[in-house]
Chain A
Amino acid sequence: MPAPDPIVVRGLARSFKTRDGVVEAVKGIDFTVRAGEIVGLLGPNGAGKTTTLRMLTTLLEPTAGSATVAGHDLASRPREVRRRIGYVAQVGAAPSAGTLLGEELVTQARLQGLSKAAAAARLAQLAPRLDLAGLERRALLELSGGQRRRFDVALGLMHEPAVVFLDEPTTGLDPQSRANLWEHIRRLREEMGVTILLTTHYLDEADALADRILVMDHGGLVADDTPAALKARIAGDVIHLGFASPEHAERAAALARETVSARELVAQGDELSVTVDDGAVAIAPLLGALDGAGLRPATVAVSRPTLDDVFLTLTGRSLREDEEAAA
């Protein structure tokens, strides 16, 4: 019998009572994460991502539905779930004075049930992997943003969990630190085989890290697919070609219509835009045909749709509009 999927969510819902009445933060969602997958939960602020994550990490009781995490039922065996999961919360407030990186990691590991010796050994093994070696005696207050975040990730990994939840792992980091943390997260899966569910409202983050993206909006899931499939389903790739003259562009358009199955062809001045399902597949025959007809383009570019385009198509709203509205 194959091992059960590490995350199975069925009809999970959570509502909060507020002064304005009952708010349904998560409205009965279903999804499954397979072993070794990195799944991104993408959505604007207030979509219900963090609420979902807090339910799956036993921090918040669902008002309806059920979930199995790391092989155990969330509601009936929360302690068994806790033994097997790592949780990296959203970046928190400034840490207390008097907390040292190494001690905090060891305390966390020991609360997870590791012996003193095992916790120390695990620290020695994990610190270099997250570029934290040599910082064991450093006060948490003195860490840089990137170091603090890697420390947060280390907290969630000390007990070698099978499933790791990351809540907005790179929010507030500079581009270099973000790219660096992405690299660490990818390596986690390669080296330790962990299953990862992360939330993000960064489109590029979901695109860069996730094998599969769950798009969340107003407490519900509006899509569940690979980044590539989501993009293909929505908009397709656009091949931009620049020619010597408008007349060449017109002739190229006619030729392109015969050569590739274009969804859309727009010739404007001396430029031609061809929208296709998969730019990588279409480009070679298209260029070959153009070359054969003596219509070698001066410039060629392929642009893939962004996840913002995806979100716009799925929900009718742009992520950026939401962010501006929230700000």
Chain B
Amino acid sequence: MIVETALIFQRQMRILLRNPVWVFFGLTQPIIYLVLFGPLLKGVRGGGLGGDDSWRIFVPGLLMQLTIFGAGFAGFGIIQELREGVVDRQRVTPARRTSLILGRTLSNMLVLAVQGTILVLVAIPFGLHPSWSGVATSIVLIAVLAIGVSAASYAMGLILKDEDAFAPFIQGVSLPLLLLSGVLLPMSLAPAWLETASKVNPLTHIVDGTRALFRGDFGDGDVWLGIGITVALSALLALWGARVFRRQSA
């Protein structure tokens, strides 16, 4: 199973590294936010914002945005692979179905961890002063989340089988989830109804957790809640994705 997973992982990485344009474009969006939106937050008061502290609020939000868009659109790739016949070709081998999806999600995880690291490094000259152990833990956290999110995205790609249905679906799911998790501005600025709605969103707690980590508050309850929710959510999504990969035979 390890060999099979590694084979799929290597194949995905091979294709990706020969076409690094996609990795690059995946990074440009959060960096544009960082450059063109981030400075506005320095002047905002309240919700922990203001001055250089803003960056410790904002960069964890951008990490989440990067994860949801980066891993969330992974399913695009599998729709192309379905058309190419790659998925069928791999499914007629005795390789375990779980390996076929795990190898793919691990490649998404690695790409995301690298992108996240670059994003944090780019934010430093803007005035980000984070806890470095907190940053490292946050990168691990979003990498774990990326496994679940990309697995679910692959599953949706297999179910929908069509980019024209897939793109609006992912956009439709990810945008409200992201906005509700307070990636751009902290939810403590929100009116009561919006804040309540955001509490139901698991991503909110992950973002809150990484913000606490960036501050270096390892003792903060948000950290442990964030970690717990990340692991549980990712495991759930990954299990569902693997199940769909096993079942989806048409």
Contacts and interface: CB of A to CB of B under 8 A. Distances in A.
Interface of A: 16, 54, 57-61, 79-80, 82-83, 85, 87, 89-90, 92-99, 103, 107-108, 110-113, 152, 155
10 tightest Cβ-Cβ pairs between the two chains A and B: A98-B18, A92-B85, A93-B83, A98-B15, A111-B93, A87-B92, A89-B85, A82-B94, A92-B84, A111-B95
B11 interface: yes
A106 to B, nearest CB: 9
Contacts of B83: 92-93
Contact of A59 (B4, B18, B91): B91
A92 B79 CA distance: 12
B90 to A, nearest CB: 6
Given A82-B93, A85-B92, 14 more contacts: A16-B250, A58-B91, A59-B88, A61-B249, A83-B94, A92-B83, A94-B84, A96-B15, A96-B86, A107-B7, A108-B90, A111-B7, A111-B8, A152-B85
B243 interface: no
6 contacts: A57-B92, A82-B92, A90-B85, A92-B85, A93-B85, A155-B89
A59 B249 CA distance: 5
A90 B91 CA distance: 15
A60 B249 contact: yes
B19 A98 contact: yes
A95 to B, nearest CB: 6
A16 B249 CA distance: 12
A110 B249 contact: no
B14 A98 contact: yes
A113 B85 CA distance: 20
A93 B81 CA distance: 9
Interface in B60-107: 80-81, 83-86, 88-95
B88 A99 contact: no
Contacts of B192: none
Interface residues of B, number: 28
A93 B4 CA distance: 25
A107 B94 contact: no
B92 A110 contact: no
Nearest to A161: B92
Contact of A58 (B19, B80, B92, B95): B92
Contacts of B14: 98-99, 103
A112 B83 CA distance: 21
B11 A107 contact: yes
A57 B249 CA distance: 11
A59 B94 CA distance: 12
B59 to A, nearest CB: 32
Contacts of A60: 249-250
Which residue of B19, B84, B85 has the most chain A CB atoms within 10 A of its CB atom? B85
Contacts of A87: 88-89, 92
Which residue of B8, B16, B249 has the most chain A CB atoms within 10 A of its CB atom? B249
A82 B249 CA distance: 14
Nearest to B93: A111
A113 B92 CA distance: 12
Which residue of A83, A85, A99 has the most chain B CB atoms within 10 A of its CB atom? A99
B19 A59 contact: no
Interface string B215-250: 000000000000000000000000000000000011
Contacts of A16: 250
Contacts of A57: 92
A112 B11 CA distance: 15
Nearest to A109: B93
B32 interface: no
B15 A99 contact: yes
A113 B94 contact: yes
A93 B80 contact: yes
A48 B181 CA distance: 49
B88 A112 contact: no
B36 interface: no
Nearest to A92: B85
Contacts of B16: 98
Given A60-B250, A93-B80, A97-B18, A108 B91 contact: no
Nearest to A106: B7
A2 to B, nearest CB: 26
B3 interface: yes
A118 to B, nearest CB: 13
A95 B93 contact: no
A111 B84 contact: no
Contacts of A89: 85, 88-89
Contacts of B250: 16, 60
B4 A111 contact: yes
Nearest to A104: B11
B94 A79 contact: yes
Nearest to B80: A96
A111 B6 CA distance: 10
A203 B233 CA distance: 54
B111 to A, nearest CB: 14
A97 B19 contact: yes
A112 B94 contact: yes
